[in-house]
Amino acid sequence: MDLKSGYPFWAVKNGLLKTFPQLNRDHQSEVVVMGGGITGALIADELSSQGHHVVVVERRDIGWGSSAASTALLQYEIDTHMSELAKRYGEADAVKAYRACADAIGELEALAAGLGDVDFERQQSLYYASREEDVLPIKEELAFRRQNGFLATWLEREEVLSEYGFVAPGAILTQVAASVDPYRMAYQLFERVAAAGGEVYDRTQVERIKPEQQGVSLHLSGGTTLRCQHLVIAAGYESQTWLPDSVAVNRSSYAFITDPLPPEALGKLRRTMIWESARPYLYMRTTRDGRLLVGGDDDDEDIPERRDARVLEKAQGLANKVETLWPDLAINPTFSWAGTFAETDDGLPYFGPCQALGPRILFAMAYGGNGISYSMIGAKLLRALIEGKTHPLAELFSFKRHTLQ
């Protein structure tokens, strides 16, 4: 798949940070992680740090798929309200999913501290009502969160205007959120995996996967074979191609980033990510050097050529929306891009085996608006499955939610 268009900022900012070799010989490992993005990096690092021998294979350069196009808003809020998840799966599981996402922010912070410069910053999160009719359901969601121990504040229209400088009927303000450079973090994690005895290969194409009684065989382009006891498919939005049935819908999201803006122009935006109740939603956050990163205007386009043609128009449309909220803020999209993303119907990810492929092939499908937080959760969940242990979210995040068994 062609996963991105335009000039994703992380790839432009960082360039090719390191080259990894290509796997061109028969090989074997305890665990193979297929996918060289931030999801695969978090999983490989978790397994490697716990003594598992890991081989990573990526068909592009490392980090060059969707991770390069990620806007990397780290938050505990799931695209589906906790109260809605409770109606579908019960209150206990809904709370468990939200709590795990909140805990993942702290785990990512600790991980980033051990890596060095990955631009991790704690943020606040402001979720505002796009319309008057959205106020009541958002207030009900706030009450449900508070009832279950989540700290959050309601801001009335006047408070949103005085504190953040734009007009909205109301908003939820929370303190558990963060931002990161996902591209740099992926590279640093893979370097750590290699330093711990793991192996990372890019430009290595998997042509066929064959489940076997005692493991899995991966047949690579060029005729070589890679054997393992467990395979984790963390190939982002391409992971669905290995399933017998689709479990999510691929869409396109658009984004741009500005040149650095003066601190006085950004105000509280400097430490607050902002997103709205409308769907598709506008979202934004800043970078460490004071750039404003804006995304949204998602559509159903999944043909790369058409997506490519829309990037500049979409970026300008997003800039116009920001300037409507803050008329005094001059917005110039310095770099603009688009990327493929996938949505599940309930906003939750899929981690674990698909019955049709057997227990040794595990999927890591961190789909939705907080994919990096999901990936942090999934890394521990998949390690538990590989080690034959239980995990509190294994059932909820499994394919049992889907008709695919």
pLDDT digits (tens, 9 = 90+) for 265-310: 999 999 999 999 998 889 999 999 999 999 999 888 766 778 888 9
User: What is d(CA 33, CA 200) in angstroms, rounded to the nearest whole number?
Assistant: 9
| Same domain flag for 257 and 394 | no
Give the domain range for residue 370. Answer: 23-69+183-248+346-401
Instruction: Give how far Cα 337 sits from Cα of 3, 216, 307, Å.
Output: 11, 37, 9
Percent of the chain with pLDDT over 90: 81
pLDDT band at 405 (very low <50, low <70, confident <90, very high): very low
If asked whether residues 244 and 350 sit together in one domain, one would say yes
The rounded distance, in Å, linking the Cα atoms of 217 and 254 is: 37
Number of domains present in the structure of the chain: 2
Mean pLDDT of 16-31: 95
Is the pLDDT confidence value at 3 over 60?
no
**CATH code assigned at 234:** 3.50.50.60
Task: Flag whether 389 is in a domain.
Answer: yes
Neighbours of 91 (CB within 10 A): 15
* Residue 9 included in any domain: no
What does the pLDDT read at residue 404?
Answer: 39
pLDDT at 351 over 80: yes
Mean pLDDT of the chain: 93
155-174 pLDDT, tens digit per residue, is: 999 999 999 999 999 999 99
Better-scored residue on pLDDT, 3 or 268: 268
pLDDT band at 317 (very low <50, low <70, confident <90, very high): very high
Task: Please tell me the predicted confidence (pLDDT) of residue 186.
Answer: 97
CA angle centred on 395, ends 391 and 400, rounded to 5°: 155
Phi and psi at residue 124, to the nearest 5°: -95, 165
Domain-embedded: residue 14? no
Residue 214 pLDDT > 50, yes or no?
A: yes
More confident residue, 193 or 405: 193
- Structure confidence at residue 403 (pLDDT): 56
Residue 16 domain-assigned (yes or no) = no
- Looking at the structure, tell me whether residues 335 and 255 fall in a common domain: yes
- 320 and 195 part of one domain: no
Together in a domain, 199 and 322: no
